[in-house]
Structure 1
Amino acid sequence: MAIQWFPGHMHLTRKAIAERIKDIDVVIELLDARLPGSSANPLLSELTGHRPTLKILNKQDLADPARTPAWLDWYNARPGTRAIALDASERAPARRLLAACQELAPERRGLARPMRVLTCGIPNVGKSTLINSLAGRAQAKTGDEAGITKQEQRIVVADDFYLWDTPGMLWPRIIVAQSGFNLAASGAVGRNAYDEELVVLELLGYLQRHYAQALVERYKLDMAPQDVAQLHDDELLTAIGRKRGAVMSGGRVNIQKAAELVLTDLRAGAIGRVTLETPPEFEAWLAVGEAQEAERKARKAERDRERKNKGRGRG
């Protein structure tokens, strides 16, 4: 199942970014620290060109603390890129962000040459919450739902630091299948774009391999972590549903309700601090996705040539 979600307001956001980037010194892209590769928007790289970029791994308090440093190193190794991690407990992120932006664009200082920053990110990554923290007041709408912010907003963080906030945006075609599942699990994709049961089964399969102990503790499963890791994913979902009371008449487990419970737990951090990908895993997924996309484009080009040749034959 390929998960795709690019509603109309995202087309407008793409146009707005393309227009605004002409006057921008630094781009801040918020990433979800639980899926730092999957939440990076490849379309944004195309739109912003070679602008210096600050990657913020947001929600690090929900991510695996053993994996976040590897992702910071992965991004910091890129030219023109600085990466830092933030979470909701950081009371004054403005100083760190200003300092990081000034490292990337040291010539932009003072009232004569104010720093001009564009913030971008996928939906529901916590961007509006960060904006409000930077501004010191509620300027951006927040909520645990994809697509809250719909219009570009200008915020004055300091006398010489201007920030433009853009709505959350995905990209027209998600070529990495696992990224689609991870984005859906995190809440970045509209609910009408995916099957919750399928997303949860993919999620549980990964958690079984890497966080079986966390599943045992959260759902009070009467088995050892190694036994949980050996269960079929649908058996695990059924066991979780039974433990959480998602039971219908006749003792049958409501699988849809169980899936919703697992997604809610993941997004709230109730399962524990988990990260759904490592840099090597994501690189491998991306290589597969790029190869499949190249094959798809080649097949499409061949079909287009065949149609064109048939059209010439009829003429």
Structure 2
Amino acid sequence: MAIQWFPGHMHLTRKAIEERIKDIDVVIEMLDARLPGSSANPLLAELTGHKPALKVINKQDLADPTRTPLWLDWYNAKLETHAIALDASDAAPARKLIEGCRKLAPTRTGLAKPMRVLICGIPNVGKSTLINTLSDKRQAKTGDEAGVTKVEQRIVLADDFYLWDTPGMLWPRIVVDQSGDRLAASGAVGRNAYDEESVVLDLLAYLKLHYGAQLSERYKLGLEAAEIGALHDDEVLEKIARKRGAVMPGGKLNLQKASEIVLTDFRSGVLGRISLETPAEYEGWLAEAAIKEEARALKKAEMDKRKKRKAPSRERPRTPE
């Protein structure tokens, strides 16, 4: 089942961005370094597409160090876009944000023409932590739950540099199924919007092929990477459940508890530095989604035609002369 989550406050955020963007010079979009493609909001691109964009690939300390450079190159190849990678809790690289914005809008400087920046991103991507690091004080609320920030906040980073923080926002319909699963695994989606076991099975399907050794080491499975890769996703989860004591009375495995353990380990980084997609993989998923969307649109158009043909005519009967 496709994962969707767009609560009411996100609709309000969309409206706020539409209003604010008129006076903005640069848009900063925070991305999760473990899923830099899936965490990019297509709705945000639609709302702010004409503005210079600074893509901040955040949480790089949790991501695969061999994959993050690929994403930097991918984003830096786009027009009017500059990309940097950082860890929001590190004060030194966080300051690169101001420098990056200046490069994208060099004429915006001084009190007469202050830099006006909008910072956006999916829920739980680290925006508030970054803002607190930049401003050297806790101006924004932080937390490990999706949707902590609920209202727009104005942050003054310098006399001529204003930053508007917006609540985390997803988009009304996630058409790339793989992105939905990855967003849920990262903690960007509310807990009531997905089944944890289903998300973990998808996560394990990817990890067993690309990070099998890390899985084996974390959960003491005693298997080589190739051996783990040959297992079914359910088998991997069952082995983790046994190793972690997720067993109910009667010996039945508690797969829900095992799923929660895997999600917590992935989100906290104790599984190791992991990235759930490469630019090439993500482009492939986008292409697949585009084909499905085209087929969906054609099917809808055909259904609308049938309904129109079946609908009774509303023309008044002619009266005899």
TM-score range, shorter chain: over 0.9
Given residue 277 of structure 2, which amino acid in structure 1 is its aligned partner?
E
State how far apart, in whole Å, the 1-side matches of 2:64 and 2:94 are: 24
State how far apart, in whole Å, the 2-side matches of 1:215 and 1:93 are: 30
* DSSP 3-state at the match of 1:146: coil
Unaligned runs of 5+ in 1: none
Given residue 92 of structure 1, which amino acid in structure 2 is its aligned partner?
A
Given residue 229 of structure 2, which amino acid in structure 1 is its aligned partner?
A
Are the counterparts in 2 of residues 62 and 272 from structure 1 also a CA contact under 8 Å? Answer: yes
User: Which residue does the alignment assign to 2:144?
Assistant: 144
Residues 127-177 of structure 1: CA deviation (Å, up to 9, x unaligned) = 110111112111111110101100000000100000000000000110100
User: Which residue does the alignment assign to 1:162?
Assistant: 162
- Please, what is the CA RMSD of the aligned residues? 1.1
* DSSP 3-state at the match of 1:249: coil
Asked whether 1:258 is paired with 2:251, we answer no
Q: By how many angstroms is 1:107 displaced?
A: 0.5
Q: By how many angstroms is 1:308 displaced?
A: 2.1
Q: TM-score, normalised by structure 2?
A: 0.96
User: Which residue does the alignment assign to 1:190?
Assistant: 190
Are the counterparts in 2 of residues 92 and 134 from structure 1 also a CA contact under 8 Å? Answer: no
State how far apart, in whole Å, the 1-side matches of 2:142 and 2:260 are: 21
Trace 1:133-282 onto structure 2 (pairs within 5 A): 133-282=133-282
Given residue 177 of structure 1, which amino acid in structure 2 is its aligned partner?
D
Asked whether 1:4 is paired with 2:4, we answer yes
Are the counterparts in 1 of residues 86 and 94 from structure 2 also a CA contact under 8 Å? Answer: no
Are the counterparts in 1 of residues 87 and 93 from structure 2 also a CA contact under 8 Å? Answer: no
Q: TM-score, normalised by structure 1?
A: 0.98
User: Which residue does the alignment assign to 2:318?
Assistant: none
Given residue 162 of structure 1, which amino acid in structure 2 is its aligned partner?
Y
Q: Percent identity?
A: 70
User: Which residue does the alignment assign to 1:62?
Assistant: 62
Q: By how many angstroms is 1:49 displaced?
A: 2.4
Larger gyration radius, structure 1 or structure 2:
2
User: Which residue does the alignment assign to 1:128?
Assistant: 128
Given residue 179 of structure 2, which amino acid in structure 1 is its aligned partner?
S
User: Which residue does the alignment assign to 1:114?
Assistant: 114
Unaligned runs of 5+ in 2: 316-321
Q: By how many angstroms is 1:305 displaced?
A: 2.1
Are the counterparts in 1 of residues 89 and 130 from structure 2 also a CA contact under 8 Å? Answer: no
Q: By how many angstroms is 1:94 displaced?
A: 4.8
Are the counterparts in 2 of residues 58 and 87 from structure 1 also a CA contact under 8 Å? Answer: yes
Distance change in 2, residues 1:120/1:188 (3 Å): same
Asked whether 1:50 is paired with 2:50, we answer yes
Asked whether 1:85 is paired with 2:85, we answer yes
Given residue 120 of structure 2, which amino acid in structure 1 is its aligned partner?
C
- How many residues matched? 315
State how far apart, in whole Å, the 2-side matches of 1:218 and 1:312 are: 65
* DSSP 3-state at the match of 1:274: coil
Q: By how many angstroms is 1:92 displaced?
A: 3.2
Q: Which moved more, 1:262-271 or 1:81-90?
A: 81-90
Given residue 257 of structure 1, which amino acid in structure 2 is its aligned partner?
K
Are the counterparts in 2 of residues 61 and 88 from structure 1 also a CA contact under 8 Å? Answer: no
